Amino acid sequence: MGLLIRNIRCLVQTEDIPQIKVCGQKMSKLGNIEDAFLYIENDVISDFGAMKDLDMSGLGVKSQPLRILDASGRFVFPSFCDPHTHLVYSGSRELEYTGKIRGLSYEEIAKRGGGILNSAKRLHETSENDLFHQSMIRINEIITLGTGAVEIKSGYGLTLNDEIKMLRVVKRIKESCPLEVKATFLGAHAVPEKYKQNREEYVDLIINEMIPAVTSEELADFIDVFCDRGFFTVDDTERILMTGLKYGLTPKIHANELDYSGGVQVGVKYNALSVDHLERTGDEEIDVLIGSETMPTLLPGSAFFLGLPDPPARKMINAGLPVAMASDYNPGSSPSGNMKLVMSLGCIRLRMLPEEVINAVTINSAYAMNLSETHGSIARGKVANVFITKEIPSYEFMPYAYGSNLIDTVILKGKVIDIDPPTPPASRDRL
Ligand code: NIG
Ligand code: FE
């Protein structure tokens, strides 16, 4: 099947020579083509260019029938890549949200049995099937919002059986939706009540039982640790990462959200694919990241939602670092998987330019989930994950019009996706 999109007002983020990530000053550049065409052959981008160069006979239209879409007045973007979510969870936590409005901090809520442990309790009481259906509502929602690849973490299980339950749900999602899905084992997301006085015993359980079980079923690509004040220490993180690496899991770290935790340093030491959050990032963390292969991944939705200080994105980019952004979609710190809103927050809160936020949610975020060779830009041979906007005046309008849904047509793996409005979750929050 061939799919030709023609008369595109502007084709955004094209690459003739694909790069795996974009750093520093280069983040303010985009390879855009005005009045363009995009030709997709089956599930792959086959060709693109200016309309004046479109030669139907030279396109190499191998397969018939050929479907043609007209994108006059509209922009085509590569789909968003969202490299940090916790979107497999049960229920919601809007009562904690009210607590936060009344003045409780994230850590105070966690100490009162709310937070991650609250979601773990809910998840324990939810069947695998129900969990899958609740999560698929969120999957369908992010598809309509323009996401084409997503990373999903475990970490609301916190027992062997429940962590496996979560990761089996991720596997089922992978098999039943057109998104590219990567799975991360995050057993070290919080210390369960039972191990409160003996955290190291829980770390032992992760190392001796959970990692071997998760990897024997091939349920995860990556391993993550919440290395922060009140959660897991640098020593715990090292022990877990060393075992994860032994079992073939690449590290990705939750680092420096609540404190200067040493999470960035330990992540870089173990060649983590990404270190995420980074609300508390100073010169030392930036120096460590320079020259490393680790992608700093910012989650402006959770900093916004929790009222945390914003990570120093400008300082990072000015120092020559790449920056990626993700939604952190989860019930406690960021109940939204809207990557267009993440772009707006990147511009408004982190003072990033529209070109920089586009790079941060496409090519650099693809890198942060090990997908930048196949996703994250319009390049020949890459997977045909793109969206067509409604009529808009410029690409800057995307982050500028922060509350408008500007996505008209979603194409994943070369197929036009039928986007139905998502069904709202049924049950009310309880504490
Ligand atoms: O990335 N910081 C740790 N984990 C999540 C929040 C999870 C939750 O509150 O349920 C995050 O923000
Ligand atoms: Fe997170």
- The pLDDT value recorded for residue 259 is 94
Of the listed ranges 102-106, 247-251, 270-274, the one predicted with least confidence: 102-106
Phi-psi group of 151: left, alpha or beta (phi > 0 → left; psi -120 to 50 → alpha; rest → beta): beta
- Angle at the Cα of 301 from the Cα atoms of 351 and 364, rounded to 5 degrees: 65
> Is 414:69 a contact under the CB 8 Å cutoff?
no
Q: Which of 302, 329, 334 to mutate to test the pocket of ligand 1 (most atoms within 8 A of CB)?
A: 302
**CB of 254 sitting under 6 A from ligand 1:** yes
The band of 423, judged by pLDDT with boundaries at 50, 70 and 90, is low
- Phi then psi for 302, rounded to 5 degrees? -75, -35
Nearest CA to ligand 1 atom 3: 226
- Predicted model pTM: 0.96
Closest atom of ligand 1 relative to the 110 alpha carbon: 9
- Tens of pLDDT along 180-229? 999 999 999 999 999 999 999 999 999 999 999 999 999 999 999 999 99
- Tens of pLDDT along 95-112? 899 988 999 988 888 878
- Whole-number Å distance, alpha carbon 80 to ligand 2 midpoint, is 18
**CB of 331 sitting under 6 A from ligand 1:** yes
> Is 349:304 a contact under the CB 8 Å cutoff?
yes
**CB of 257 sitting under 6 A from ligand 1:** yes
With a cut of 80, say whether residue 40 has pLDDT above it: yes
> Is 150:366 a contact under the CB 8 Å cutoff?
no
- The pLDDT value recorded for residue 11 is 98
Q: Tell me the one-letter amino acid at 258.
A: L
Nearest CA to ligand 1 atom 5: 333
Closest atom of ligand 1 relative to the 115 alpha carbon: 9
- Whole-number Å distance, alpha carbon 390 to ligand 2 midpoint, is 31
Please write down the HEC assignment for all residues of 11-41.
Answer: ECCECCCCCCCCCHHHHHCCCCEEEEEEEEE
- Angle at the Cα of 284 from the Cα atoms of 20 and 259, rounded to 5 degrees: 100
With a cut of 70, say whether residue 136 has pLDDT above it: yes
> Is 2:344 a contact under the CB 8 Å cutoff?
no
**CB of 86 sitting under 6 A from ligand 1:** yes
- Phi then psi for 394, rounded to 5 degrees? -165, 165
- Give the SS3 label for residue 287: helix
